[in-house]
Chain A
Amino acid sequence: MENQFFIDSDELSKEALERKHRLENDPSVRTNHMEYMEGMDIIESDICKKVMSQVEEYDYDSFTAKDVVAALGHETCSVRDFMALLSPAAQPFLEKMAEKARVQTRNHFGNNVYIFTPIYIANYCENYCVYCGFNCYNKIKRMKLDMNQIEEEMKVIAKSGMEEILILTGESRAKSDVKYIGEACRIARKYFRMVGIEVYPLNVDEYKYLHECGVDYVTVFQETYDTDKYEKLHLLGHKRVWPYRFDAQERALMGGMRGVAFSALLGLADYHKDALATGLHAYYLQKKYPHAEISLSCPRLRPIINNSKINPLDVHERQLCQILCAYRIFLPFAGITVSSRESATFRNGIVKIAATKVSAGVSTGIGDHESKYEGKESDNSGDEQFEINDSRSLNKMYEDIKSMGLQPVLNDYLYVQ
């Protein structure tokens, strides 16, 4: 089964609909997704080649139980061991993997579990990514917060006790330019100890500017490392350029950021290969930039407004758990974030094994924190990117983590420019 992504809005003009259908059905009208657009930095890097050559050769069905047992017995997890742990042969060893992952997590992070919250400040988007609620053809209520609204939202979030924030936008340079994002980050620095961003990929000098505005953490999801699949899912806009997205974390580090986060959106393509690529991407980048703080996320596809049937296909919770255990064993020092796309039960279970960071008090809509946190009526908000699956507040999350014998941490960070 494949997801049925294409949804036609009744608000689109005839011309717009025709163009949309052409993009969906005729590959020849789409731009070359491997070619940089004007203004995009091209950096010298061999990381993409290193990652993709191993991903292409990865034949996960060739791994056997013997390879998995060997991988679990090794003190240091090699790339080949990582491949074995991600293979179907490792599924029967999930409990053993979880045991090993838990030991690694506790050795490197103790009982600490970090808590953060995302804030979406705009949902305008110039791209047509067929699975995303923000895509430019989806009929949703669009909104962009001004600086006063951003400050109000941040005050409300900070009042809840939150100390780390992740600022997100839809991917529109025209509606949410770098300066707009930078100003939002300057405001965030007043209220939060740590500010991260998850916005469209930028050039090195733009990352440098945002670092000066107080940002120290950059998250970019590659969505899928399968370039052919990527081409079929990202039909329009600058996001279509796969290699520019791949090098985003490296450009962020070149711009002075302290840490970077990686992920594939699980359910879009072959998850074995996407998980391998994510791990190797992080591994080789940390090797090249040893000071970089590395973290991984593991989002699975979720339903969106106007398409409630989107789902993560064959990536069930057992597969997700296997991937996270493999990440932890391969990269014991890396942070692992599990977002509110997953249920409270799954998140409670996975923080005991591999995850080191969870979100709380989450809204993926625009400008609705006051109504969500304090119950104030407001119809002035923008629509959500996807449906969340765990709506716990900061206080509830804090208490739940504590009750599991773990130590919730709101801040372990110092911005030093």
Chain B
Amino acid sequence: MENNNDKLILGGHEFDSRFILGSGKYSLNLIEAAVKDAGAQIITLAVRRANTKDTENILDYIPKNVTLLPNTSGARNAEEAVRIARMARALGCGDFVKVEIMRDSKYLLPDNVETIKATRILADEGFIVLPYMYPDLNSARDLVEAGAAAVMPLASPIGSNKGLATKDFIQILIDEIDLPIIVDAGIGRPSQACEAMEMGAAAIMANTALATAGDLPLMASAFRKAIEAGRSAYLSGLGRVLQRGASASDPLTGFLR
């Protein structure tokens, strides 16, 4: 990063990178590319995948200097999410947890009500809670009040690569919520990641966009550059954008004395 003081701060921990690798479509190549080429310092880990025997334990493949972000995927309600989070801590995954609660196996849309409940319980237990949510301002405020360390709204349906379908609502969260807003799910291209960062998102989480790319390392490095470019643009303050037509060369209110 050009600006060494520009850190992503989550629960008191500082990160230089604003790219977070999501879970779901794991392969060992993906982890390698995310760390090496996208510069990821945080990698999400589905506890249900970590809960494995010796043959294929993802934990063994994640570099030690990378922060693990275990998620509660598979949880259908707050109670299950809390149990999975505690399991993650017991497995040695640290205090970070991404709360992910879905009652829908088709679209995998998050359940905000249960997510707020789980966030409250886990924050009280000392977890650094990053809740995945449907971008709704009231829910986001409840998450702040429940003790979340960041808010992670979805950009579009998970795995869809459709980009910022919820752009206007994410912008509202960025404007109104005093926590980092990490855009999660649906980011399919580096340009979409860049756009979210220009809007003021604190970080981007992606998985499918990389996992399904033709050349994984190349796509990982494209994401890194796009996120950095978007961040720089946000920090510099975007230039004026004309809404419709040109602005009048003579002021419309010029007749006023």
Contact = CB atoms under 8 A, between A and B. Distances in A.
The judgment on whether A and B are partners is yes
Contacts of A107: 159-161, 208, 212
Nearest to B160: A107
A385 B111 CA distance: 43
Given A163-B52, A408-B56, A110 B76 contact: no
Given A111-B25, A293-B105, A333-B106, A411 B84 contact: no
Interface stretch (B13-21, B41-49, B119-127, B217-225): B41-49
A275 interface: no
Contacts of B83: 416
Interface stretch (A200-208, A284-292, A299-307, A365-373): A284-292
Interface in A365-417: 407-414, 416
B56 A409 contact: yes
B52 A414 contact: no
B94 interface: no
A161 B159 CA distance: 30
A11 B49 CA distance: 51
Interface bin, chain A = 20 to 34
A106 interface: yes
A316 interface: no
A112 B161 contact: no
Contacts of B51: 193, 411, 413-414
A291 B76 contact: yes
Interface string A190-215: 00010000000000000000000000
B84 A416 contact: yes
A109 B207 CA distance: 12
Contact of A291 (B26, B55, B56, B105): B105
B53 A161 contact: yes
B103 A290 contact: yes
Contacts of B208: 107, 110
A68 interface: no
B159 A193 contact: no
A294 B105 contact: yes
A66 interface: no
B24 A110 contact: yes
B205 to A, nearest CB: 15
A292 B105 CA distance: 6
A408 B47 CA distance: 17
Interface bin, chain B = 20 to 34
Nearest to B48: A414
Interface in B150-174: 159-161
Nearest to B75: A416
Given A410-B53, A414-B51, A108 B87 contact: no
B106 A161 contact: no
Nearest to B108: A333
A106 B159 CA distance: 9
Interface in A163-213: 163, 193
A409 B51 CA distance: 12
Nearest to B106: A333
Nearest to A106: B212
A411 B27 contact: no
B68 interface: no
B25 A110 contact: yes
A407 B106 contact: no
B105 A112 contact: no
Contacts of A110: 24-27, 207-208, 211-212
Q: Counting chain A CB atoms within 10 Å of each CB, which of B46, B87, B211 scores highest?
A: B211
Contacts of B76: 291
Contacts of A293: 105
Contact of A286 (B102, B105, B211): B105
Contacts of A413: 48, 51, 74
A410 B56 contact: yes
Interface in B175-226: 207-208, 211-212
A290 B49 contact: no
B58 to A, nearest CB: 10
Nearest to A110: B25
A414 B27 contact: no
Contacts of B84: 414, 416
A21 B103 CA distance: 51
B105 A333 contact: yes
Q: Counting chain A CB atoms within 10 Å of each CB, which of B25, B47, B83, B107 scores highest?
A: B25
Interface in B91-123: 102-108
29 contacts: A106-B212, A107-B208, A107-B212, A109-B25, A110-B207, A111-B25, A111-B27, A111-B211, A112-B25, A161-B53, A163-B53, A193-B52, A286-B106, A290-B106, A291-B103, A292-B105, A294-B105, A333-B107, A408-B56, A409-B49, A410-B52, A410-B53, A410-B56, A411-B48, A411-B51, A411-B53, A416-B74, A416-B83, A416-B84
Interface of B: 24-27, 46-49, 51-53, 55-56, 74-76, 80, 83-84, 87, 102-108, 159-161, 207-208, 211-212
Interface of A: 106-112, 161, 163, 193, 286, 290-294, 333, 407-414, 416
